[in-house]
Amino acid sequence: MENTVHADRRQTPGFPGNGHGLFGSWIKWWLPTIITLGIYGLWLPVSLEKWKACHTDIAADTAA
């Protein structure tokens, strides 16, 4: 993971996301899906990827 580079920024070996935060997000995502009879479910993969991206640490230094 230390060798992964995003936009000239090296990714650090840390992931501050936790199970509680993901579980809470899943509830927030599935309730509208049930209420809208599945229509909101089309956005679930996008929401999950956005959650993972927001909870991934990226270092400020440039890749060498």
Amino acid 58: pLDDT: 64
Could you tell me the pTM of the whole model? 0.60
With the C-alpha atoms ordered 20, 21, 22, 28, is the resulting torsion angle positive or negative? positive
54 token code pair: 């927001």
With the C-alpha atoms ordered 21, 23, 46, 30, is the resulting torsion angle positive or negative? negative
Q: Which residue has the higher pLDDT, 4 or 39?
A: 39
Q: Is pLDDT at 1 greater than 60 in this prediction?
A: no
Q: Dump pLDDT digits (tens) for 28-59.
A: 999 999 999 989 999 999 998 888 888 777 66
Q: Dump pLDDT digits (tens) for 9-24.
A: 666 656 667 778 888 8
CB within 8 Å of 59: residues ≥ 6 apart: 9, 10, 11, 12
